[in-house]
Structure 1
């Protein structure tokens, strides 16, 4: 097991481009083979005799360590961006249309996947408001009171929120509702005006031998109605 752990710690990682050992100590690990073959990694510290030479050697190592960490951070950032683009492309079909600033969304609660105690908790949290999308990647969200969330969320972690009931009305919404109410009132007035004419139309006469007058609203001929009354009296 120690040999496996040692091999893993000196192996270069894809996400950072450096081994964990190099990322921690700022230099490539010196292996026994390097000492035996006297490679460039085996620094001959015994030849350093002055303070200036020692400070120069230490300074170069520290400088190399900071440069290594900077490159590792850039590579790690690029790896995360590529991963986000991959998942956004794979999950883009889940969005009915692109989210715009101001849209309300829900955020997937990923913690329930690994915590058995949260199996019956809500899978989606929110709602939150979209601030913007960063370079077609993750979304920046905020609370409804305007407080920005610290985390960024990929496209597959959010979905559009459709509120039940009415939203807080704005001035434009109020004007639209008022115009709709006016239209409904006009329709009621037109209906009342045409009621009498509709009743006259229902009492139509069909000239096919006998004159059959339809009883308004019930669909029963007058003569059938009177016959039914006569039979009931008998």
Structure 2
């Protein structure tokens, strides 16, 4: 059995953990309240008693669920915008021009057999033409254009 037995526990942990991006749990966004573990239901905690006894509060939470989801969506967009800003501030753009020498990744072209001891890069190529948005036409050093670049 192994990992199959652990799957419900992993799913429970994922669904009840607050996400960094929106500060909400998937469970609470689905059902409108925070999940309770079975041990909480059996023991009379203040939170357990208030949720179980107060039907009106549960209905109100369901009515406000759409607003809560929209707020979580807003937070998630804001979080992603901050991540993009952080990434963009640290990325270094490398511009190539016609005539520059480059290496091509062997995995992308599949020219050489791949494996643990296979070469990572192919022989140097020359940039023949700069197309757009990081696309280039390459040629071998003897002037023969390389297909599919």
TM-score using structure 2 length: 0.51
Distance (whole Å) between structure 2 residues aligned to residue 26 and residue 95 of structure 1: 50
Q: Give 2:52's aligned residue.
A: 44
Q: Give 2:122's aligned residue.
A: none
More strand by share: 1
SS of equivalent to 1:94 = coil
Change (3 A) 1:44 1:87: closer
Give the gaps of 5 or more residues in structure 2: 1-5, 97-106, 110-130, 137-149
Per-residue deviation at 1:58?
5.0
Larger Rg: 1 or 2? 1
Q: Give 2:123's aligned residue.
A: none
Per-residue deviation at 1:37?
2.6
Is the contact between residue 27 and residue 64 of structure 1 (CA under 8 Å) also seen in structure 2? Answer: no
Is the contact between residue 23 and residue 72 of structure 2 (CA under 8 Å) also seen in structure 1? Answer: yes
Say yes or no: does 1:3 pair with 2:9: yes
Distance (whole Å) between structure 2 residues aligned to residue 44 and residue 86 of structure 1: 44
Give the gaps of 5 or more residues in structure 1: 49-53, 97-115, 121-125, 128-157, 162-234
